[in-house]
Amino acid sequence: MKALVYRGLNTIKLEDKPKPEIQDPTDAIVKIKYTTICGSDLHILAGHVPTCKEGTTIGHEGMGTIDSIGDGVKSFKVGDKALISAISACSTCSNCKRGMLSHCDKAGWILGHTIDGTQAEYVRIRLADSSLHKVPDGIDEKAIVMLSDIVPTGYEVGVLAGQVKPGSTVAVVGVGPVGLGATLTAKLLSPSLLIAIDKDPARLEAAKKMGATHAIDSSKEDPEKIVKELTGGLGCDCVIEAVGVPATFELCQNLIAFGGTIANIGVHGAPAKLALDKLWGYNIAITMGFVNTTSTETLTRMFQAGTLKLDDMITHEYNLQKEGEQAYATFGAAAKHKALKMIINTEA
Ligand SMILES: [Zn+2]
Ligand SMILES: [Zn+2]
């Protein structure tokens, strides 16, 4: 089978690999129909994820059909359609029982990281019962891939951790795919203000389409000044960081209202300043962490009901076998190509 394989710094290769086989009774082999590339995959290529070894098939998002199962898999049978969760989990260890699936003793973020991932024709899913979700009939099978990772991440780590409520004033700093996932799902909770901040006009346009009430181009405008104007000088109840560099985390601290929550989603590679001398008396909270994917089933129901619209997130489609490497080239230059998420199909 064909697979997109990490081959060291900035190198991704489309290679032939053996089809994966069942190794443990709780495994399932999924024949991938649609997968996608994530910002985390680019972090791997950039060498920021040393736990991912050369030769690993990349990818932790996708959907497909169950090709085979181990004897211990109870909730899926061969032929079922399944959505793959970015987080694999056992559901029985102490961390899983506390809802911390991302810190599962036996798994967590392993796919396309410490074991072969989804950017291939087939993938082995460990702990399949609790790492896969049923795909309802008649659903858009490309759009549902947005629920493998980016939308649950925006919702759980941004919106829910950020305590967004009806009437909240919300700012999302960085509206790439995960920031857009936060924008889409914040909108479901009826905020009174939903302000998107980014330097990329195409992303700001997408954020407005997905429900942002205001868009601030931080390459041309001063976000702090505009947020203060829009909130009558208060700042925002919830500020979501979805970039992962010191400057944007520091900006969040200048946008937060008394009593608010800064919800950091960004994956940071360097320390950032925390203005404790200013913020100690603000009665605020700062949250951060990995997605646990405990919201996936809820979000799937909302998608099925039509209250959550996901297809605007997809801007490009490529074929794995013919254009897998091209997909990376486009996603790597996302601003130039106005790329948000790209579907990679495996149609022969
Ligand atoms: Zn991802
Ligand atoms: Zn566990």
Point out the ligand nearest to the CA of residue 100: 2
348 pLDDT higher than 80: no
Point out the ligand nearest to the CA of residue 331: 1
Residue range 25-33: average pLDDT? 98
What is the per-residue pLDDT for 125? 98
Q: What is the mean pLDDT of the chain?
A: 97
Split into its structural domains, the chain has a count of 2
Residue range 288-308: average pLDDT? 97
CA of residue 60 to ligand 1 center, whole Å:
6
Range of the domain at 44: 2-149+293-345
What is the per-residue pLDDT for 290? 96
As a whole-number percent, the residues of the chain with pLDDT over 90 amount to: 99
Q: Say if residues 266 and 245 touch (Cβ distance below 8 Å).
A: yes
What is the per-residue pLDDT for 269? 86
CATH number, domain with residue 21: 3.90.180.10
Predicted confidence (pLDDT) per residue in 287-297, tens digit: 999 999 999 99
Give yes or no: residues 170 and 282 share one domain: yes
Give yes or no: residues 14 and 78 share one domain: yes
What is the per-residue pLDDT for 276? 97
CA of residue 307 to ligand 1 center, whole Å:
23
What is the per-residue pLDDT for 265? 97
Residue range 97-113: average pLDDT? 97
Rounded CA separation 23/311 (Å): 35
52 pLDDT higher than 90: yes
Give yes or no: residues 208 and 338 share one domain: no
Give yes or no: residues 143 and 157 share one domain: no
| Residue 293 identity (one-letter amino acid) | T
Rounded CA separation 36/313 (Å): 12
Residue range 306-314: average pLDDT? 96
Residue range 46-62: average pLDDT? 96
CATH number, domain with residue 215: 3.40.50.720
CA of residue 262 to ligand 2 center, whole Å:
28
CA of residue 40 to ligand 1 center, whole Å:
6
Residue range 155-159: average pLDDT? 98
Give yes or no: residues 263 and 174 share one domain: yes
156 pLDDT higher than 80: yes
Residues contacting residue 99 through CB under 8 Å, at least 6 positions apart: 292, 294
CA of residue 150 to ligand 1 center, whole Å:
6
No. of helices (H) and no. of strands (E), the chain: 12, 15
Give yes or no: residues 10 and 131 share one domain: yes
